[in-house]
Amino acid sequence: MTSNNRQTSNNSNANRSPVNGQQARTCQFKMVLLGESAVGKSSLVLRFVRGQFHEYQESTIGAAFLTQTVSVDDTTVKLELWDTAGQERYHSLAPMYYRGAQAAIVVYDITNADTFSRAKVWVKELQRQAAPNIVIALAGNKADLAAKRQIEVVDAQTYADENGLIFMETSAKTAMNVNDIFMAIAKKLPKNQDSSSGRTGNNGPSITVDRPGNSRATGSDGGCCAGTK
């Protein structure tokens, strides 16, 4: 939350840009990443948005805001990604970021059992406090460090199944399952409800830091499509 230089375009026609002579449907969703510090939230987002990985990724201060646009069938899905800070002193800020979010990725580090316990606490908090229809994914990150694993896949999968979560082990380092987990969420998001707030910005990835109040993501009641074929 150190600057306010978010790159957006207010092109009101962007929701209905013609694709192959037809009107494309554009949806926009707010997604939040939660989890203990150093589990790899920022690394997952940077891998997804920029295709990069940094061995010495700096710990996030406050939160970072990024966007990425993907295609799901005939729909352009713009994801507004709030990458929260995992350090204890920022935990009280989390509700600002998950409020109104249509999706969340709760991240743990497969080599650290404490982070899995913390992930479960985040899931519980989302189930109680976030939008009732929020799509939640559980990411067991650092899968490239399987030799140091403390959490077995079957245990995480069982927990995810019991709680209706998408689950994948990921590696921001090798890129394993990174696009896949974001795409699995994007596919599960509702895209058939019209909303007047289906604003869209530039289509390319952008990375900025911002305040959550500036997000124009839609409300907590589901779809945010604008423009239909």
Ligand X SMILES: Nc1nc2c(ncn2[C@@H]2O[C@H](COP(=O)(O)OP(=O)(O)OP(=O)(O)O)[C@@H](O)[C@H]2O)c(=O)[nH]1
Binding residues for ligand X, rule: CB under 6 A, are 35, 37-43, 54-57, 59-60, 85-87, 141-142, 144-145, 171-173
The smaller minimum CB distance to ligand X, of residues 72 and 93, is found at: 93
Report the 10 Å Cβ neighbour count for 36: 23
Residue 181 contacts residue 188 (beta carbons within 8 Å): no
The smaller minimum CB distance to ligand X, of residues 91 and 99, is found at: 91
Among the listed residues 147, 142, 148, 113, the one whose alpha carbon sits nearest the alpha carbon of residue 40: 142
SS3 157: helix
Cβ-Cβ contacts under 8 Å for 42 (sequence gap 6 or more) = 57, 58, 60, 64, 83
The answer to whether residue 42 forms part of the interface with Mg ion (CB under 5 A) is yes
The smaller minimum CB distance to Mg ion, of residues 60 and 68, is found at: 60
With tokens 């295709």, the residue in question is 51
* Smallest distance from Mg ion to CB 47, Å: 12
Q: Of 26, 60, 69, 215, which one interacts with Mg ion (CB under 5 A)?
A: 60
| Partner from Mg ion, ligand X, none contacting 62, C-beta within 5 to 8 A by type | none
The smaller minimum CB distance to ligand X, of residues 175 and 184, is found at: 175
* Smallest distance from Mg ion to CB 172, Å: 11
* Smallest distance from ligand X to CB 80, Å: 17
Residue 13 contacts residue 64 (beta carbons within 8 Å): no
* Smallest distance from ligand X to CB 41, Å: 4
Residue 222 contacts residue 102 (beta carbons within 8 Å): yes
